Structure 1
Amino acid sequence: MKRHPHIARTLLFLMLLGWMQGMQGQENLEIRKIHFKGNKTFSDKELKQQLNLKGATWVEKKLLKRQSELFAENAYQQGIDNLTRFYQTEGFLKTTFQEPDIHIKRDKITLTIPLTEGAPMVIGNVFSGNMAEFLTKKKATKRLLATPGKRFRDEWMKADGDLLTRSLTEKGYAYATVQHHILADTTFMLVDVQWMTDKGPMCVFGKTTLTPVARTPERITRKQLAYREGQPYSPLKLSKTQQQIYDLGTFRVASVKAQLTQPPTDTVHVAIKLTEAPGITTRFGVGYGKEDRFRAFVELQKLNFPGGVRRTTFYASHSAIEPYLIKTTITQPAVWGPKSSVSLTPYIRNQKEPGYKLITYGSTLSWIQRLSTHLTGQANLSINQVLLDTSTVARISQNLTKQYARTGIETGLVYDNALPRFDPTRGWIVTGNTQYITVFSGDRTRFFKHQLEVKNYQQVTPSLVVATRIKAGTIDLLNQSVAAPVDDRFFAGGSRSVRGWARQQLGPVDADGIPSGGHTLTEGSMEARQKLMGPLSVVGFVDWGNVWEPSGHLSLTDLHWAAGGGLRFATPIGPIGIDAAKPVYDSAKSWQIHFNIGHPF
């Protein structure tokens, strides 16, 4: 069969010309949606981020105020170039993009972009070069991302380079640099990597200079330094120093920088630039919730008062369940080292809960010790007087008078590595504490109160987070013939408890149907948080729990269950939302509606 290559070239040219004219015919039409076809490794959402074109549906325009762009051939070609470079940085050197499928309806375009990813480059061997001392250690190599058998990614190479550089600087090589050389075989799609370094001199800390400030004594700031002159250089100690200076609470800016010079020297001086925070700050806010109704607060803080790095904070708040709380806290940072602080808080508080009404006034002395980045310990000593409304459930506590004194000693630990702070998607929060409480009311009542709460956050997909919570507590009475005061008892039900019941409505009640609380508590929740679009998300949850009168009594068959769902709207200070829940096995109970600022847990 005779071939005519000139005819094939002519046909190919005409097809390309027709496609380009078709593309020109779509100029300045509004883009509605963009899809990809053939993408196996990356989602449509990830690929759209590389394009210069953005579409928007009618719903996205109205609810999220998104603006769709007009189709332009130049912008489309630039977007394809961006996608090609993106695939190359992810190890795909042979990715190709075919002619797009353009669907027009009512002068709006739905664009489908077909592509062939091809096989990725895979890492073959990783050679240590002159870094054998580090890369031969098993613990160190586990931290590397780009290892044999994995897909080659530019991002991983940069991250491993930063890791190797940090490993050297932490050993005192302040001027260390790390580079990598790659050898690519596109036939077998393999990449060999070789790491090389220039360590430079071994360094020690030199002198430290601090910016003079008006209110905070320099001698106190210097006590927050995590290093001493002549010690081996360490960037980690510089970061630790910065955190410890911030912990004083008197600085708005604390910049800690090593003064590296050229040519390199074996002594690294440090410059710390400080800017003090305003001497007086105020905060206030108002809000509304189903349980606390209208609420408001005001806070006034004065730094460096009364002297040194102490600070004094005045706080007052109001809500339906807490008509007033007024307290003043005087805090002394860096008491027994940079990581500890002591505070004294006198206060007066009025509570109107479904189960009791009382007024409490007294003082709490607290010691807080930061044990590690995520672990904090605390000890409290409290002394207060309680004025009790005896027309409530307090009648069941025959050992209590209308007015009694109370002392408490509390110790506790908090582990918190959950991030982000106001809307966690990963990590744990574990809180445990024990109190020894003595009540002076007629006969002396003594008891221990133990509580443990565990929260976990798991990001299942980029848009789905599963949060779980388990809480348990018990009161151990040293004299079984008496009962714990009503304000120390456990209650369940409400927006941050088992949401199928109103506040404090789950558990024992007295003869008049008023919640009386109990000496044992367990409750938990599992909640799926799914993002919909923009700041809007939907949640579905199951809660369970109960309260028992006897100490240490726990029966799984007595657990009460509730299920429901809700909406969340993300804000810079955390989500706001509404939840609706109903008991699962109790058809007589009605739905409960809860308004929340922040997640329930």
Structure 2
Amino acid sequence: MRPFEKPCDLGRAGAPLLRSLVGLSAFAFAIGHGSLVVAQPPEPSPANAPAAPKPSTAPDDIAAPTPPPAGAQFPEVPPIIDDDEFERAIPDIAAEDDPELDRPLETIAEFERRLTAVAASGDADAAEDDDAADGAPVVDGVAIPALADGDVVEAIGDAPISDVELAAPLPPLESFDVEPVEYAEAEEEARDRSVTYIVQVNGLDAADAASDVDLADLFSDLSALYDGDGKADNAAMVRARLRADADLMQRILASEGFYDAAIGTRIDRTARERNAPLTVILDITPGQRYTLGSVSIDAEPTVPPALIADNFPLTIGEPIVAQRIQGAEAAIALKLPEEGYPFAKVGQRDILLDGATGEGDYTLPVEIGPRSRFGAIETTGDLAFDAEHVEVLARFERGHLYDSRMVDDLRQALVATGLFATVAVEPQRTGESAGDDTEYVTTLVTQQAGPPRTIAASAGYGTGEGLRLEGSWTHRNLFPPEGALIGRAIVGTQEQGIGATLRRSNAGRRDRTFELVAEATRSNYDAFEAITGRVAARISYDSTPIWQKKFTYAFGVELIATSEDDYEFTRGLRDRDFYTIAGISGQVGIDRTDSLLDPTKGFRITTLLQPEGSFAGGFSPYMRARVDVSGYYPVTDSVVLAGRVRVGSIIGAARELLAPSRRFYAGGGGSVRGFGYQQLGPKDPNNDPIGGRSVNEAAVEARYRFGNFGVVGFVDAGQVYRGSTPDFSNLRFGAGIGGRFYTNFGPMRLDIATPIDRQPGESRVSVYVSIGQAF
């Protein structure tokens, strides 16, 4: 039994009550255990006679208590509090001390009549002195009046008795006002309403000043809070972004050597204006910045001995910056394979930080592997060509010290053939000694041949040239290795043609090409109208996007049969003639620019010589010669000045003996912009160009590039002369502006130009659209 928490004095009259409570507890305990056992004195009964059951007084639906078995002996239960102790705890109150203790209690009816009588007489004191008085009850000296049915009115709080509203009856339910309460202020919006916020970063200035990286800009670029533009669907989203940004800031600071940085976050809601943005705050304590206390590379000796040390840029005392650490490790991982160690592996770094000194001891394990030399080339997979042709593409030979740059170059050359869906090049250990403590490695080429056929198309437009569309179909490996068949067709407003080419790429040498060409074209220009057939063979060694060469060459032979019209001054009309031309050609080039398709610095020189002869009216040999020089100078990172000069001459034959298509012309998008195609130089009485035996051209461009776009301003000049020597007289000038859109295969060009000192019959504006720079 739980004891009373506080003393409780029940008085003498409470003794029977306490005993009753004890008995009630015993009763409840018995009920809880499923039976109620009542101990009574046994009644006399005959021997061995069963006790007679007592009649049950319980209702029918309540089970009667089970009587104890005959002869059951119950243990004596001691009382919780014996009578003597209970009597001692109750104080003695004598009747003579308080006569009211011996008076019997009045009935309820007598009590109500007495209170009513007191209320009617107004004598509150009489209620306490007159035992038989009838009247109203008195509360705090105020009599409570009786109602009509004899009940009394109870006082409510401090309300005066005279308040008739308290005594008024309640209104009926049907007249109760159930309209909702309208508040003075609008109801608060849902908790998930959208919110706005501003971001405040405190304490980053010291770390930002010590770092080479703008940490504030780096954080804003990667921050989830800044990425949200100050808006969120709810406050929970703001808190989630704040937690993510705290982790981000911790990583940023650690990457700059602040490993003890502490980031505190909070959201300031003190703004009192309604719908005012929250202030999201990051409080940053960068702590000390750790520096390198020691740098140790755990590796075996290399050849040369200082190979790793000379190419590992970390120094003692510099801050531990993640970008510097990773860059130094990458430098080793790249340099060792370039110097004969194809199997070198950089292990997991270890940096032991000392919080007392602010220094870190850096250790890097490196497995250098065997020093190696190139051995055999093997190939596997779905082959486009065999290992023998792979050796033609390789720029290394057996016995050369292994260089991963040569392996990458071979991989790029294989991709450039266009014959593979996938291709991989990797070294394989052989264990075969190559002397000088080196071993041979096998270069394994894994091929997956791709579709060999392609369809291509190009388009261009130029004033005087009109619209030109060219399409081609190519089977790049019809005659392995790399024996291609190319069919092409030209459809234009002033030129149409078809042709076929057999081309062997990488013919016996990388980037050397052999071609056989057969074509038929029809040209209809102001200078001439021609139907021409041509057969030619050519061998060239040219630059490619993968390997831009400093020296290039090309030579070949060609046979041309053409029917062309020309103006005969002696007869004063245009007449058609047939020409058969045979010749050889040779070209050499020097390239010192930084890009094949879009140079920004350096120069180029190309010389073309074409000894040939015409069989029209007898054999007439002559020499066509042309020299092109271009240069590029970067004024700033985005502005380049470019210029070019072209000089050409035909020696050994009069102009009238030359086929019109073999003479020099000037004007157009690739020549002097601002003028129509072939419009400069001598003209006939119909003002149509007739070409000449010499030409000179010049151009200057200012190229400004911003992103993938560019603007070009240019001035071109040029002229064609009757004689074989250009005299640079009577130069014509054109000026204009152009736009460039730079792609991964070269710039797309749109130029608009106008002639300076325009002559009658010349266009005011000329437009040129093509791919690539003008020069």
TM-score, normalised to structure 2, is 0.54
Distance 2:329 2:589 in 1: 37
Q: What letter matches 1:236 in structure 2? A: R
Shift of 1:389: 1.5
2:174 equivalent to 1:174: no
Contact 1:128 1:135 in 2 (8 A): no
Contact 1:393 1:514 in 2 (8 A): no
Q: Of residues 399, 403, 425 in structure 2, which corresponds to 1:256?
A: 425
Structure 2 counterparts to residues 499-514 of structure 1, below 5 A: 499-514=673-688
* CA 215–432 in structure 1, closer or farther in 2 if over 3 Å, else same: same
* CA 177–213 in structure 1, closer or farther in 2 if over 3 Å, else same: closer
Q: Deviations over 1:177-210 (max 9, x none)?
A: 5689999999xx9999999865332224456442
2:701 equivalent to 1:526: yes
Give the corresponding residue for 2:405. Answer: 236
% identical aligned pairs: 17
* CA 92–250 in structure 1, closer or farther in 2 if over 3 Å, else same: same
Give the corresponding residue for 1:332. Answer: 504
Contact 2:579 2:659 in 1 (8 A): no
2:712 equivalent to 1:540: yes
Give the corresponding residue for 1:408. Answer: 584
Distance 1:52 1:428 in 2: 46
Q: Of residues 315, 320, 330 in structure 1, which corresponds to 2:488?
A: 315
Contact 1:124 1:148 in 2 (8 A): yes
Shift of 1:368: 2.2
Distance 1:525 1:469 in 2: 4
Q: What letter matches 1:503 in structure 2? A: Y
Structure 2 counterparts to residues 49-68 of structure 1, below 5 A: 49-51=221-223
Shift of 1:350: 2.1
2:536 equivalent to 1:360: no
Q: Say which SS state the counterpart of residue 667 (structure 2) adopts.
A: coil
Q: What letter matches 1:358 in structure 2? A: A
2:651 equivalent to 1:477: yes
More strand by share: 1
Give the corresponding residue for 1:450. Answer: 626
Contact 1:318 1:325 in 2 (8 A): yes
* CA 306–350 in structure 1, closer or farther in 2 if over 3 Å, else same: same
Q: Identify the range of structure 1 (69-78 vs 38-47) with the bigger mean alpha-carbon deviation.
A: 38-47
Give the corresponding residue for 1:14. Answer: none
Contact 2:655 2:692 in 1 (8 A): no
Give the corresponding residue for 2:196. Answer: 26
Shift of 1:77: 7.9
- Figure out how many residues of one structure are paired with residues of the other and give that number: 538
Structure 2 counterparts to residues 555-570 of structure 1, below 5 A: 555=728, 559-569=731-741
Distance 1:470 1:91 in 2: 53
2:612 equivalent to 1:438: yes
Structure 2 counterparts to residues 57-456 of structure 1, below 5 A: 70=231, 73=238, 75=241, 158-159=326-327, 161-177=329-345, 198-205=367-374, 208-213=377-382, 216-217=385-386, 219-221=388-390, 223-226=392-395, 232-246=401-415, 250-259=419-428, 266=439, 268-284=441-457, 290-306=463-479, 308-321=481-494, 323-369=495-541, 373-375=547-549, 376-391=552-567, 401-413=577-589, 415=591, 418=594, 424=598, 426=600, 430=604, 432-440=606-614, 441-442=616-617, 444-454=620-630, 456=632
* CA 306–599 in structure 1, closer or farther in 2 if over 3 Å, else same: closer
Q: Deviations over 1:240-261 (max 9, x none)?
A: 4334545665444331112369
2:770 equivalent to 1:597: yes
Q: What letter matches 1:531 in structure 2? A: F
Distance 1:300 1:568 in 2: 29
Q: Deviations over 1:344-385 (max 9, x none)?
A: 111112223332322221222111235893114322222212
Shift of 1:234: 2.9
Distance 1:500 1:148 in 2: 64
Q: Say which SS state the counterpart of residue 669 (structure 2) adopts.
A: coil
Give the corresponding residue for 1:64. Answer: none
Contact 2:655 2:693 in 1 (8 A): no
Q: What letter matches 1:389 in structure 2? A: D
Contact 1:548 1:554 in 2 (8 A): no
Shift of 1:402: 3.9
Q: What letter matches 1:598 in structure 2? A: I
Q: Deviations over 1:404-447 (max 9, x none)?
A: 3232322233638655x76x374667351322231313351311
Contact 1:178 1:196 in 2 (8 A): yes
Distance 2:400 2:741 in 1: 50
Distance 1:510 1:43 in 2: 72
Shift of 1:271: 2.5
Contact 1:374 1:416 in 2 (8 A): no
Contact 1:348 1:360 in 2 (8 A): yes
Q: Say which SS state the counterpart of residue 553 (structure 1) adopts.
A: coil
Contact 1:390 1:402 in 2 (8 A): no
Segments of structure 1 that go 5 or more residues without pairing to the other structure are 1-23, 30-36, 56-66, 100-106
Q: What letter matches 1:438 in structure 2? A: E
Shift of 1:519: 0.7
Q: Identify the range of structure 1 (516-525 vs 82-91) with the bigger mean alpha-carbon deviation.
A: 82-91
Distance 1:508 1:48 in 2: 66
Q: Say which SS state the counterpart of residue 402 (structure 2) adopts.
A: coil
Q: What letter matches 1:302 in structure 2? A: H
| Aligned residues: CA RMSD | 5.8
Considering only CA atoms, is the larger Rg found in Structure 1 or Structure 2?
2
Contact 1:543 1:562 in 2 (8 A): yes
* CA 406–504 in structure 1, closer or farther in 2 if over 3 Å, else same: same
Distance 1:393 1:162 in 2: 75
Q: Of residues 579, 582, 593 in structure 1, which corresponds to 2:751?
A: 579
